[in-house]
Amino acid sequence: MLLGELAGIENDSDVTGFALDHRKVARGNIFGAFRGSRFNGEDFIPEAVKRGAAAVVARPEAVVEGAIHLAADEPRKLFAELAARFFAPFPETIVAVTGTNGKTSTVELTRQIWRMAGHRSASIGTLGVTTADDQVKTGLTTPDIVTFLSNMAGLKRMGISHVAYEASSHGLDQYRAEGVPVKAAAFTNLSRDHLDYHPNMDAYFAAKMRLFDEVVQGNGTAVVWTGDPKSKSVIEHAKRRGLTLVTVGPGAETIELISRQSTPLGQQLLLRHDGKEHALSLPLIGAYQMNNVLTAAGLALATGGDWAPTLLAMGRVSPVRGRLERAVISRAGAPVYVDYAHTPDAVEAAIAALRPHVDGRLITVLGAGGDRDEGKRPEMGAVAARLSDVVIVTDDNPRSENPTTIRRAVLAGAPGAQEIGDRREAIAAAVAMAKAGDIVLVAGKGHEQGQIIGDRVLPFDDVTVARECAA
């Protein structure tokens, strides 16, 4: 069906684009008027029509005068379907990754494995749009649907054939990751996060399962990490849909993890694939990095990759920005690592990754973001206090909240921790106290280049600050 027919517009050429912001509407655009947590897009329908909107996608009860009203109970979904027809074609091979932690690393590692197999590949997510030649920031894990589809179409025009993207629970719930032919979908893990948006963990999990229940193609593949308590439920969703199943991890059928041993520069894995055992020297530290690499390898196999080059590529992958990234070694000889960990599980995984490499003390610097799930704050503090030798609680991105209130909540779970509100001062204190044999972990912001205080974004990069403090 042609776009014009689907939209009720006589000619496709009359549709000039798609807009979600009424201020950016141009003549012939289709405007999406959605109800959000802060604004109701329906309030701006008259202004969008005045600016030349040819049609408005909105709920049936919305009032639209002077333009075609494309009514739908799920207007975001209809808008995505229409926009996909407008922006197509897209790259031939597209995969998506969901889960609480590991999405960014998994899509980037998938891109790397594809590239080493000779494919022109890209990843889309928290780090932006990344290709072998460039990286463009988008500012969101899953950008709005117009940006998402426009980026996908742009990658196709660049000659990119393979794309891996992050599918967040927000993006899936709001139909911001729709419209492209997803050949395979992967699940990493599930733990507490985003309960400021989702009413409970069941709703959070259900949002993620839309990727397997609706978004991935019916003849597609589900790649599932088997080491998470929710993995069996994900497998059940995949089977009900009739998806091909690829499992990776402990007890998995496709890539089974038999054993893992930490090494000074990474880890030594013993894997089983197709009935044969294979040794792999992985150049990344931490069990969760292993999980991400194996999931990425599963996606490579699910999209036509061969085992031998995939195994070779796993041994040659590079670290992902802000994910257990070693920023500097202090003058005293203590390594300083930066990690994006901003949930209790992620903090625990990052500390567990570093612990085998610690001869002295593990010093953790962490805070929690404002305007986000308040319940996870004391849990993050408790995990850090239980697993670290020294904890410094500082500010993350307080946003509109009082930073003192946030720190107090984190300290409730870590009563013995030090409190240094200024993040630079906290990092400096950790670096100064670290001696040879110690390791410093700066958790929470990872790759981020700014600190959000009120309505301002101040330049702040944990890696750069750590290096300045060490110097």
Annotated binding site for ATP: 99-105
Query: Which residues carry a binding-site annotation?
Result: 20, 99-105, 141-142, 168, 174, 176, 372, 396-399, 444, 448
Coil, helix or strand for 122? strand
Q: Nearest 5°: phi and psi at 260?
A: -145, 135
Residues placed in the known binding site for meso-2,6-diaminopimelate? 372, 396-399, 444, 448
pLDDT in tens, the chain (471 residues): 344 555 555 555 578 999 999 999 999 999 999 988 778 999 999 999 999 999 999 999 999 999 999 999 999 999 999 999 999 999 999 999 999 888 999 999 999 999 999 999 999 988 889 998 765 654 444 578 999 999 999 999 999 999 999 998 888 889 988 899 999 999 998 875 656 665 687 888 888 999 999 999 999 999 999 999 999 999 999 999 999 999 999 999 999 999 999 887 789 999 999 999 999 999 998 888 999 999 999 999 999 999 999 999 999 999 888 888 889 999 999 999 999 888 898 899 899 989 988 999 999 999 999 998 899 999 999 999 999 999 999 999 999 999 999 999 999 999 999 999 999 999 999 999 999 999 999 999 988 989 999 999 999 999 999 999 999
Using CA atoms, how far apart are residues 352 and 331, in angstroms rounded to an integer?
25
- As given in the structure block, the two tokens for residue 61 are 């009860």
Structural domains of the chain, with CATH: 3-86 (3.40.1390.10), 88-314 (3.40.1190.10), 325-470 (3.90.190.20)
How distant, in Å, are the alpha carbons of 92, 106, 207 from that of 171? 22, 17, 9
**How many angstroms separate the CA atoms of 449 and 459, rounded?**
6
Burial class (CB in 10 A: 0-12, 13-18, 19+), 375: exposed
